Structure 1
């Protein structure tokens, strides 16, 4: 496969009929891009014009790519995706805000984990609850809907964390984040966003691969191997293996982690029109001396504490183990009439084992007395089974060509937990706490709680060509949801819900570059509260209204979007006044959170040598009590770019900025009652450089938190610091 473009150089082959694609990039005029940036980001078109030639024209060489198929990841963007609708569309044709974090972006920015990926995604904020747990938010709502290869499999629980954020990102080809409600494909969930992790596949018919080793601050080091090989002489059956091991310490005293992961997939062209994939995905991580909670924010006298970022509240005997295994399979058959039938299934088991100690209280400023530890040993298992089958293809109606998707899905998720507790302990002088304390005797384990959720659904969507420039997408999902939960103290509850989730989007193509869109989407989330008659309240319904502008240049090498949105929650539980003599609180449905705002993103190739993603989000969120989720930033700006130096071709340099606005908690639990805590805006800067010694050997250096910003990633009743300045060096050999 021969290429003359660095973007095409990262493309791999897929088993389809051979074709030659010739893309001309000559006479690229920047006028429309400058107008978009000036309107949405407040950029100065005059400043941008100075970087162009005198006639605002940049001439790029013709790019000729010959191969079996164009792989759609190109630099920091993607030409097509099925995210949000199941239709294979360009980002410009999808009537919702969408971010795609590609393999190249993951590699350049050294986004090692899922947490790293999502924390650097437009419109997403990460909250590190302690050293081992993290939650993600978008548009004011917690993200709890996750898909793997488009298969809705997981709805995460607020109370337990099985370590999704710590999973290694090396096995993913890309991560797709659809902001707003996405109930058409995910079923139950919150309306902030849904995340789809797309695994890498065995696309090469020749032996290819890479081996990398990394070394970073705090004695962090690791290695990753990625090998693809044909299993038959023709290459019709191919296998890919990705595996790695990482270990190291942390900026926190005593905290260390060890991670190993493995991924294997076999892709087979069963016939000319049928492809089968089967795979296995394994992750195991162990955290030694992890924190449960964080640092006290105030002394007993009400003054603010000023602990160092290395100060750890964890005892030396605590640990947190997580292990996950996933097996999956999918098959796709392409009919002669351009229809496609695809089926996917997965089985996943995740286990956690955490022996932890949680500090609470307010220490005396001088003596350090006044803190106490609550201890708990928790074990849990989550099991997920899911299957999804759908057919898609074109049809004719009233003299025009349209597209239809129709499918069904089934998923079942069970969570079971057991725990044991000790009487806890007094750490003495907390100001000199070093984690050295005897481990107490633990009583026998006892079952604590369990949940079971089952979803059966049928869904369909039609993409209707109303006129040459006007397209309407209409769809709906019917979900049959049932769930049960039990606790050792409260017995068992069970409920069932039937929900119809609509989807509608209208896209108008202004020209080949620009389009405008408007959409209405929904999602539902069952709840456990009961009304005065003893019935469960109807599910919370999240309604997402969105309109905006999208653009694509250079045959999809550069994509941009501007979205204005409003999200409303209905049927949110509100407590009824407690009647005289009553002991059980009942609830009624009311209007919940309303979130409104705007987000913008430009992602892809600005020139042949410059890739960039820049995104900005601003929103406000309120509920019946006023501002909602104020510890999450209302405004964020995220930028990352890479530049291959034309005068020194082996060298690529780049970096980024993540800025977020002021945040606060109005009623944090302080020593003298509810107390407000504020954190000002801050910026995290990063740099990276890569030098290609030979076509096979490259070295890359990444620097994070370049200016060593001190900030809280989480603050409420306690505080958790974000990572200080750190750097990682990676050496990669490719073959």
Structure 2
């Protein structure tokens, strides 16, 4: 039987310099983990720091940098292949970015680049079955990319929430004894390009005071299936459009939304080695929802 017990201690402090234009964040966590394997147990402990630095280059703009380390207990699904032992995830995250506010602070944007390294992460093994679930311990996974985020209002009538993320995630190192994974192999279960957006527009017509329209889009491009097989069929790109109308009063809001407006056949899935076949799970076709909210 496997199990774990862990305790932690966390601290954080922020220092300001040059009339608080330069801000330094210092944080850290001490974690102790005791992992059980039947009658035996392994212990692990680590101090993980977190450093953050930001500088205001303009009253409405700032640049920042963040570095932190990870030490995360994890649990296995079934047995671990090749006799590996369950260890906490270790690694680090490095991020740089710029934040800016527009239109007197009504709209904020963030552009960031990042790199994440993870060691010892468990993932479902390529030979796993429902009756005999197995996991493998990856040597090291590296995810890197950039992200753009915008949210707020543009003028009096238009509000926006938008996000784009580019992610490249690959196996960086392989644990000795694991032969089903190779260095440079794409990590399964993610999309290289993720796009999300939602617009709300209030109609500037007195007779329709409080009435507006909404439109949303979700895109998942260059998706990887959740398997380790080379040359397997990749999931097609995913495009979903939603929309609706709303009325907003002083305390009440009524929203009527339509999801998957173009009634696309949307699905996620993967290839299962033990079945030698694919399994798809479909999403709902075009559907509707009416929501009424009231603020007391």
TM-score for both structures, normalised by structure 2 = 0.76
- State the Cα deviation string for residues 637-684 of structure 1 (Å, max 9, x = none): 110121111213220211110111022339678xxxx86122221211
- State the Cα deviation string for residues 218-258 of structure 1 (Å, max 9, x = none): xxxxxxxxxxxxxxxxxxxxxxxxxxxxxxxxxxxxxxxxx
Distance in 1 between residues matched to 2:120 and 2:252, nearest whole Å: 58
Which residue, out of 535, 551, 566, partners 2:115? Answer: 566
Q: Please give the secondary structure, in 1, of the residue aligned with 2:58.
A: coil
CA gap of 1:733–1:521, structure 2 versus 1, over 3 A, is closer
1:658 aligned onto 2:222: no
User: What does 1:485-500 align with in structure 2 at a 5 Å threshold?
Assistant: 491-500=38-47
Distance in 1 between residues matched to 2:85 and 2:2, nearest whole Å: 19
Q: Please give the secondary structure, in 2, of the residue aligned with 1:665.
A: coil
Distance in 1 between residues matched to 2:227 and 2:252, nearest whole Å: 54
1:609 aligned onto 2:157: yes
- State the Cα deviation string for residues 562-615 of structure 1 (Å, max 9, x = none): 110011123568xxxxxxxxxxxxx9x985011110001011122222211111
1:401 — aligned with what? none
1:471 — aligned with what? 23
Distance in 1 between residues matched to 2:253 and 2:121, nearest whole Å: 54
Q: Please give the secondary structure, in 2, of the residue aligned with 1:661.
A: strand
Which residue, out of 178, 187, 196, partners 1:629? Answer: 187
Distance in 2 between residues matched to 1:687 and 1:723, nearest whole Å: 15
1:725 aligned onto 2:286: yes
1:705 — aligned with what? 260
Distance in 2 between residues matched to 1:514 and 1:696, nearest whole Å: 34
Distance in 1 between residues matched to 2:62 and 2:15, nearest whole Å: 16
Q: Please give the secondary structure, in 2, of the residue aligned with 1:714.
A: strand
For the 8 Å contact 1:666–1:677, the answer to whether it is kept is no
1:552 aligned onto 2:108: no
Q: Please give the secondary structure, in 2, of the residue aligned with 1:724.
A: coil
Distance in 2 between residues matched to 1:555 and 1:483, nearest whole Å: 52
Which residue, out of 442, 447, 460, partners 2:11? Answer: 460
1:540 aligned onto 2:89: yes
Distance in 1 between residues matched to 2:237 and 2:84, nearest whole Å: 45
Distance in 1 between residues matched to 2:267 and 2:44, nearest whole Å: 40
* Structure 1 unaligned residues grouped into runs of 5+: 1-448, 486-490, 574-586
For the 8 Å contact 2:4–2:33, the answer to whether it is kept is no
For the 8 Å contact 1:666–1:676, the answer to whether it is kept is no
1:688 aligned onto 2:236: no
Distance in 2 between residues matched to 1:734 and 1:637, nearest whole Å: 32
Q: Which has the higher contact order (CA 8 A, sep 6+)?
A: 1
TM-score for both structures, normalised by structure 1 = 0.32
User: What does 1:51-450 align with in structure 2 at a 5 Å threshold?
Assistant: none
Distance in 1 between residues matched to 2:287 and 2:75, nearest whole Å: 44
For the 8 Å contact 2:12–2:28, the answer to whether it is kept is yes
CA gap of 1:705–1:453, structure 2 versus 1, over 3 A, is farther
Q: Please give the secondary structure, in 2, of the residue aligned with 1:598.
A: strand
Distance in 2 between residues matched to 1:734 and 1:527, nearest whole Å: 41
Report the CA distance between 1:560 and its aligned residue. 1.2
CA gap of 1:493–1:516, structure 2 versus 1, over 3 A, is same
- State the Cα deviation string for residues 494-539 of structure 1 (Å, max 9, x = none): 332211111011111101011111111111134689xxxx996763
Distance in 1 between residues matched to 2:25 and 2:250, nearest whole Å: 46
Q: Please give the secondary structure, in 1, of the residue aligned with 2:140.
A: coil
For the 8 Å contact 1:528–1:536, the answer to whether it is kept is no
2:271 — aligned with what? 716
Distance in 2 between residues matched to 1:698 and 1:635, nearest whole Å: 34
Q: Please give the secondary structure, in 2, of the residue aligned with 1:518.
A: strand
CA gap of 1:494–1:628, structure 2 versus 1, over 3 A, is farther
For the 8 Å contact 1:668–1:677, the answer to whether it is kept is no
1:341 — aligned with what? none
Distance in 2 between residues matched to 1:721 and 1:644, nearest whole Å: 34
Q: Please give the secondary structure, in 2, of the residue aligned with 1:621.
A: strand
1:242 — aligned with what? none
2:34 — aligned with what? 482
For the 8 Å contact 1:527–1:536, the answer to whether it is kept is no
1:451 aligned onto 2:12: no
CA gap of 1:663–1:697, structure 2 versus 1, over 3 A, is closer
Distance in 1 between residues matched to 2:215 and 2:286, nearest whole Å: 14
Q: Please give the secondary structure, in 2, of the residue aligned with 1:713.
A: strand
Give the total of aligned pairs.
Answer: 258
* Structure 2 unaligned residues grouped into runs of 5+: 77-82, 123-135, 174-181, 273-278
For the 8 Å contact 1:666–1:675, the answer to whether it is kept is no
Greater helix content: 1
CA gap of 1:614–1:642, structure 2 versus 1, over 3 A, is same
Q: Please give the secondary structure, in 1, of the residue aligned with 2:118.
A: strand
1:513 aligned onto 2:60: yes
Distance in 1 between residues matched to 2:75 and 2:256, nearest whole Å: 49
RMSD: 3.0
